[in-house]
């Protein structure tokens, strides 16, 4: 049997039943693909169901506010996905009359949609012959064909894209694409189960006892340390929050007023006067460590009391009990959970 036939046959036996696999609606497939970028299926599933329930059609998503979309996205991370999702829904609504574009070339022009997502939507929904290449596909192809070109180099990206396209089933490109990704997610995983693999007899990495050597990466991820000092300033009922407007992590989410520092701050006297003006220092939280793909955030929450809240630039005074209405990063959510107990 051919590589593609083996994958499709394996897929028909072992695939997971997932709601976006029972539809060829490009809106639903797009939603699932954006949610599943950088997210595990187990975590993404409940978000997918919530989004479909809240926004049954793309117009419903387009007509809601970005704040509400971010709120639904809260906890999933990589918030630019939610902002792009909303922006794209608006574009489809205004420029395509609410009808999702039907070809790879049109889909790839949408905001937040790269080659992978455009290939997934156009092949799953319209049977277009476009191969998907995601992390799972890199792993399967590099091992099976024994290719050691780094997957994070431009030459490697081109080589794997061409190979994936050559391997693609011309009769059933959508099923093939789903099959190879599922195969990478369940069978040819970082710790694969080669003994039960239907591709084992022709797998080059297996034949050379070099499975773990693939895929090859050229660069190590550079991780940056950042120190966040959140100023929790308020009276008995209220505190201040502010929207993160700059192009940085968590853009357009809400947080407490923030002072970022070069290194850990250990005394409230090191905080900026303008942020804590005439307020009484109460206490500081333990240090929270929050790890993202390229950053390690070390955060402290400095609590201050003021009888009457001063006006702080760009800040919004809200009732503490109303914080649930705002989209906040998981780090802030963790702190709020800890002070509830």
Least distance between ligand SF4 and beta carbon 163 (Å): 14
Q: How far apart are CA 200 and CA 202, in angstroms?
A: 6
Q: Which is nearer to ligand SF4, 7 or 120 (CB)?
A: 7
Number of C-beta neighbours around residue 57 at 10 A: 15
Least distance between ligand SF4 and beta carbon 20 (Å): 25
* Class of residue 295 by CB neighbours under 10 A (exposed 0-12, middle 13-18, buried 19+): middle
In the residue annotation, 33 being an active-site residue is answered as: yes
Q: How far apart are CA 317 and CA 232, in angstroms?
A: 11
Q: Which is nearer to ligand SF4, 209 or 246 (CB)?
A: 209
Where along the sequence are the contacts to ligand SF4 (CB under 6 A)? Answer: 140, 143-144, 187-188, 192, 194, 197, 199-200, 203, 205-206, 211
Q: How far apart are CA 132 and CA 119, in angstroms?
A: 5
Least distance between ligand SF4 and beta carbon 160 (Å): 15
Q: How far apart are CA 139 and CA 180, in angstroms?
A: 10
CA 309, 315, 310: angle at the middle one, nearest 5? 20
Least distance between ligand SF4 and beta carbon 177 (Å): 17
Least distance between ligand SF4 and beta carbon 188 (Å): 3
**Six-digit token string for 191:** 């710790």
Phi, psi (deg, nearest 5) at residue 74: -50, 130
* Class of residue 67 by CB neighbours under 10 A (exposed 0-12, middle 13-18, buried 19+): middle
Q: Which is nearer to ligand SF4, 92 or 147 (CB)?
A: 147
Q: Which is nearer to ligand SF4, 29 or 137 (CB)?
A: 137
Q: Which is nearer to ligand SF4, 56 or 190 (CB)?
A: 190
Of 270, 304, 263, 253, nearest to 287 (Cα)? 263
- Which of 17, 33, 195, 303 is the catalytic position? 33
> Contact at 8 Å (CB) between 70 and 82?
yes
Catalytic residues: 33
């Amino acid at each position: 049997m051919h590589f593609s036939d083996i994958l499709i046959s394996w897929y028909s036996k072992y695939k997971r039943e997932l709601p976006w696999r029972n539809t060829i609606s490009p809106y639903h497939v797009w939603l699932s693909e954006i949610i599943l970028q950088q997210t595990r299926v187990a975590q993404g599933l409940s978000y997918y169901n919530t989004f479909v329930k809240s926004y049954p059609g793309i117009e419903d998503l387009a007509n809601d506010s970005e704040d509400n979309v971010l709120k639904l996205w809260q906890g999933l991370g990589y918030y630019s996905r939610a902002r792009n999702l909303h922006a794209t829904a608006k574009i489809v609504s205004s420029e395509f009359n609410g009808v999702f574009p039907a070809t790879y070339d049109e889909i790839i022009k949408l905001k937040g949609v790269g080659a992978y997502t455009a290939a997934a939507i156009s092949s799953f929904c319209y049977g277009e012959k476009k191969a998907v290449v995601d992390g799972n596909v890199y792993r399967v192809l590099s091992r099976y064909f024994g290719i050691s070109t780094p997957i994070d180099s431009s030459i490697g990206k081109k080589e794997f894209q061409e190979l994936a396209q050559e391997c693609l089933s011309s009769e059933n490109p959508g099923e093939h694409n789903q099959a190879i990704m599922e195969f990478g997610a369940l069978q040819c995983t970082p710790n694969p189960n080669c003994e039960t693999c239907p591709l084992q007899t022709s797998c080059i990495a297996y034949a050379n006892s070099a499975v773990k050597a693939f895929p090859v990466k050229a660069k190590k991820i550079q991780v940056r340390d950042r120190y966040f000092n959140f100023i929790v300033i308020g009276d008995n009922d209220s505190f201040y929050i502010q929207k993160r407007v700059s192009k940085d992590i968590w853009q357009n989410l809400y947080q407490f007023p923030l002072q970022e520092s070069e290194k850990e701050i250990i005394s409230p006297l090191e905080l900026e006067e303008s942020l804590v003006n005439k307020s009484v220092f109460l206490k500081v939280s333990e240090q929270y460590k929050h790890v993202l793909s390229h950053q390690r955030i070390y955060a402290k929450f400095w609590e201050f009391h003021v009888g009457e809240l001063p006006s702080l630039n760009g800040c919004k005074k809200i009732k503490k009990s109303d914080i649930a209405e705002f989209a906040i990063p998981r780090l802030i959510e963790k702190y709020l959970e800890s002070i509830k107990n």
